[in-house]
Structure 1
């Protein structure tokens, strides 16, 4: 009987530690990724390139107009850290890395990325991502 109690307590502790590592690990990873990405874009001057690309693409410009008109109080998340956390949880870190590699090599267009995300995220989450992207692109103007 003592062995069973010990095993149950041990398993509960193990599950609690595992959940804590998962929660804090994804939280730490999402913060790190969001900070590095935004800092990298702003410090290298790529933000202006991204802005001009978005403004010249009618589909992406339409997304930015949709984000501009969105009701920000009804969004499921509002910060880059929260958005990154949701993306890691719903899409997965390895798949996000794969998408990033495909975009960098030119084998995946931005519209394909959006289509991929539409299969994994809800409409509200996509709108929240659009709002965050809009805020990041135009926060310094």
Structure 2
């Protein structure tokens, strides 16, 4: 009976440690991904082009009618970078997400951009894509 208690305690501790690593690891990974992507975008000089694309998106414009601070976030599947990264990793997979990040950090051609967009569009729902656009808009317009 004592062995069973010790084994149960060990399993519980391992589960808690695993959850902690997953939770904090996702935050660290999302920060690193966002930093790499934003650095690459700034280096390539495409910030204004991306802002323009986001501002012309009809779905995003409908949400932004009353201002970015008045968006009803309860209708979005996620509202934080961490949740977005978790969703993308779940839907696309860790390997694919790492490949995308690697491509972006090495610089991408227009064909590669199109390929990445197709992967994202094929694996995420419209609501998830819209939530990503909202996060990108907020990030690009951060002061």
TM above 0.5: yes
Q: Using a 3 Å threshold, how does the CA distance of structure 1 residues 90 and 17 change in structure 2: closer, same or farther?
A: same
Where does 1:1-141 land on structure 2 (aligned, <5 Å)?
Answer: 1-38=1-38, 41-42=41-42, 44=43, 46=44, 48-52=45-49, 55=52, 60=53, 64-70=57-63, 72-73=71-72, 74-102=75-103, 104-106=107-109, 108-137=111-140, 139=141
Please tell me whether the aligned partners of residues 67 and 131 of structure 1 are also in contact (alpha carbons under 8 angstroms).
Answer: yes
How far residue 53 of structure 1 moved from its aligned partner, in angstroms, is: 6.5
Q: Which runs of 5+ in 1 are unaligned?
A: none
CA–CA separation in structure 2 for the residues paired with 1:9 and 1:81: 30
Q: Which runs of 5+ in 2 are unaligned?
A: 65-70
Runs of 4+ with >4 A deviation = 60-63
How far residue 126 of structure 1 moved from its aligned partner, in angstroms, is: 0.7
Please tell me whether the aligned partners of residues 99 and 108 of structure 1 are also in contact (alpha carbons under 8 angstroms).
Answer: no
Q: Using a 3 Å threshold, how does the CA distance of structure 1 residues 21 and 106 change in structure 2: closer, same or farther?
A: same
Please tell me whether the aligned partners of residues 63 and 130 of structure 1 are also in contact (alpha carbons under 8 angstroms).
Answer: no
CA–CA separation in structure 2 for the residues paired with 1:63 and 1:88: 27
- Aligned length, in residue pairs: 133
Normalising by structure 2, what TM-score? Answer: 0.68
Normalising by structure 1, what TM-score? Answer: 0.69
Q: Which moved more, 1:108-117 or 1:7-16?
A: 108-117
Task: Provide the alpha-carbon RMSD of the alignment.
Answer: 3.2
Q: Using a 3 Å threshold, how does the CA distance of structure 1 residues 21 and 53 change in structure 2: closer, same or farther?
A: closer
How far residue 127 of structure 1 moved from its aligned partner, in angstroms, is: 0.7
CA–CA separation in structure 1 for the residues paired with 2:90 and 2:111: 22
